[in-house]
Amino acid sequence: MNMSFDSQVAIITGSGTGIGYATAELLALSGAAVVVNGRRKQVCDEAAQRIVAQGGRAIAVAADASSAEGAQMMVDAARDAFGGVDILVNNAAIFSPADFVTAPYAEWRRVLDVNLDSAIHCCRAVAGALIAAGRGGRIVNVSSIHSYRAERNASHYDLAKGAMDQLTRALALELAPHNILVNSVAPGFVDTPMAVVDGKNELESEWFITNYVQQRRIPLARAAQPGEIAQAIAWLASPLNTYVNGHVLIADGGLSVTF
């Protein structure tokens, strides 16, 4: 059964590149009108233009999703351009390694702001609009296998993603009376710009190839492509999903089931 998003309006944060862009493109080419969001105006503008060039409906809103003002700006833009909002995908994310003891707290705060606070502010703004409209909706939070696995020098990111999944569960309960379904998708390794750390693509490193490909710690022996994660997000956000609520869908190629 094909997913149709006709008459749906979606806000996707962090959608200039990577998983966010793949999700915006998929939803738009399946009938939705999409708000492409990110902090970099040129990147957002170009992403929206690529979607429009393929026949989709899209606008770019360069706004800081980690602020209440930025979140409301996206809701207002969706209303002005498309008449409202039906779907929120919280995908904005950053990562940089940080030692727990020695890293400045400002670095911790930056990771928490972008990865967690953006989801909080956007959920508040969009949930308010959905409740006021009275026709239900869908929220999908893009967390990570970091929400239940730890990695050295990633405690700030682990914390943010774990809290995002707990936010998913709490809002699934709180928003259910309004027919707003809230779920998470937790990816593993994905071939996106975030795979580049300190100028090196970890997916091309000897460490990744030896451990995750040759020794098959990822049973599928590869990282995901952004479009594969977008498919999982899209199903949870679609009208086809009528009963999955408060769920964390792990999309990691089987990584989490291995020793």
- Give the pLDDT score at 10: 98
When pLDDT is averaged across residues 21-29 and rounded to a whole number, the result is 98
Domain membership of residue 211 (yes or no) is no
What is the number of other CB atoms lying within 10 angstroms of the CB of residue 36?
31
- Give the pLDDT score at 198: 75
- Give the pLDDT score at 194: 84
Domain membership of residue 120 (yes or no) is yes
When pLDDT is averaged across residues 32-48 and rounded to a whole number, the result is 97
Verify whether residue 21 is a known catalytic residue: no
Q: What is the pLDDT of residues 216-229, one digit of tens each?
A: 999 999 999 999 99
Domain membership of residue 118 (yes or no) is yes
The active-site residue, picked from 21, 148, 157, 243, is: 157
Domain membership of residue 32 (yes or no) is yes
Q: Is the pLDDT of residue 199 over 90?
A: no
Domain residue limits at 69: 9-192+225-257
Residue 89's alpha-carbon distances to 101, 108, 123, 230, in angstroms, are 33, 23, 9, 10
- pLDDT band of residue 200 (cuts 50, 70, 90) is confident
Domain membership of residue 34 (yes or no) is yes
Q: Is the pLDDT of residue 28 over 90?
A: yes
- Give the pLDDT score at 179: 98
SS3 string, the chain, reads CCCCCCCCEEEECCCCCHHHHHHHHHHHHCCCEEEEEECCHHHHHHHHHHHHHCCCEEEEEECCCCCHHHHHHHHHHHHHHHCCCCEEEECCCCCCCCCCCCCCHHHHHHHHHHHHHHHHHHHHHHHHHHHHHCCCEEEEEECCHHHCCCCCCCHHHHHHHHHHHHHHHHHHHHHHHHCEEEEEEEECCECCHHHEECCEEHHHCHHHHHHHHHCCCCCCCCCECHHHHHHHHHHHHCCCCCCCCCCEEEECCCHHHCC
Q: Is the pLDDT of residue 207 over 80?
A: yes
Give the chain's domain count: 1
Domain membership of residue 219 (yes or no) is no
Domain membership of residue 47 (yes or no) is yes
- Return the CATH number at 60: 3.40.50.720
When pLDDT is averaged across residues 199-206 and rounded to a whole number, the result is 88
When pLDDT is averaged across residues 45-50 and rounded to a whole number, the result is 98
- pTM for the model stands at 0.96
- pLDDT band of residue 1 (cuts 50, 70, 90) is low
Domain membership of residue 72 (yes or no) is yes
Residues near 214 by beta carbon (within 8 Å), at least 6 away in sequence: 221
Q: Tell me the average pLDDT of the chain.
A: 95
